[in-house]
Amino acid sequence: MKLLLLVLLAATPAFAQTNSIIVAQDGTGTYRTVQAAVDAVPNQSQATVTIRIKPGIYREKLVVNTLKTHIKLVGENPETTVLTFNDHTGDAGGHDTYSSHSVLVQANDFAAENLTFENNAGYTAGQAVALHVEGDRATFRHCRVVGNQDILFLAAGHTRQYFQDCYLEGTTDFIFGASTAVFDHCVIKSKKNSFITAASTPEQQPFGFVFLNCKLTADTALAKKVHLGRPWRPNAKVVYLNTEMGGHIAPAGWDNWKNPANEKTAYFAEYRSTGPGANPAGRVAWAHQLTPKEAKAYTLKAIFAAEVPWVPGR
């Protein structure tokens, strides 16, 4: 038995014992690519495996499949550690919104820190997803999600994601999808006259996208009339609480996506917006201004409540 144990330990990669591996393009780490490191993690791990990524531009179409649970990607600095690709709708590869991702996260209990997720297909490329998340209980801290149209696809209903102190920039519908997601103290930059969010929240899901204490900024040369959101599906839910809004935010605030019927089903709301873009009196009549009592319901515990409770650690 002792001999068998020694053999097993000798055959076990070092990262499995330390729960940490290193990716470095110059060969000084355990692996040269992020995908190789992810693929090496044991399937269905119940303990967090940390993959530390050295500075560099990693041009790879990364997939964290459903079996690769409890993976944490950690960069040293989001400005210098970039995960990027350039697939987009209508390209030679025949990609669409669902396959244009630079990074696809299908596994539950994923986390990332100090990284940039980028799609660099270009300003005129159309739909080009930088980060596509389908897994539940995903956490992103001090990350950047950058590109142009449709950069952040939170695709699956009844899944939960948390973004803290992140930076997101894009052009049209650049935060979109069906999940429940919280953006906590994030900076959201618009790069053209268009829409920030396009939620497709399922009817029975109580929360969609929630922005807490965020800041909305713009490329002021190209983005002078930006809407807070429009409903990709009829029951879209988007709420901004205590958010600073630049002058690029359109007075109406919200759009019905050329379908008045959406006004009866979508739930778009604000609470104590500030800055030149805050204009409660000018908002569309079918949007909501929350009362203090209603705003108190937007706690992480309440937003992320489910059969399996989850509150992301601070």
Over the chain (314 residues), the average pLDDT of each successive run of 10 is 38 49 96 98 96 98 98 98 96 93 98 98 95 98 98 98 98 98 98 98 97 96 96 98 98 98 98 98 98 97 95 81
What pLDDT score does 20 carry?
78
**DSSP H or E segment with residue 302:** helix 300-303
What pLDDT score does 82 carry?
98
Exposed/middle/buried for residue 4 (C-beta within 10 Å: 0-12, 13-18, 19+): exposed
Q: Which residue carries 């960069």 as its tokens? A: 75
What pLDDT score does 314 carry?
61
Please name the residues in contact with 314: beta carbons below 8 A apart, sequence gap of 6 or more: none
Instruction: Please tell me what DSSP assigns to residue 127.
Output: B
Cα–Cα distance for residue pair 206/85, rounded to 1 Å: 34
Please name the residues in contact with 168: beta carbons below 8 A apart, sequence gap of 6 or more: 144, 145, 146, 151, 152, 174, 175, 183, 186, 187, 188, 189
Active-site residue (options: 87, 136, 173, 184):
173
Can you count the helices (H) and strands (E) in the chain? 5, 26
Closest by CA to 87, choosing from 116, 62, 51, is 62
Please name the residues in contact with 9: beta carbons below 8 A apart, sequence gap of 6 or more: 17
CB 181 within 8 A of CB 152: no
What pLDDT score does 14 carry?
42
Q: What are phi and psi of 14, to 5 degrees?
A: -60, -35
Please name the residues in contact with 132: beta carbons below 8 A apart, sequence gap of 6 or more: 98, 101, 103, 104, 105, 153, 155
Asked if 173 is an active-site residue, the reply is yes
Active-site residue (options: 150, 165, 219, 255):
150
Q: What are phi and psi of 178, to 5 degrees?
A: -105, -5
pTM of the model: 0.93
Beta strands in 33-93 (DSSP E): 49-53, 56-59, 62-64, 71-75, 81-85
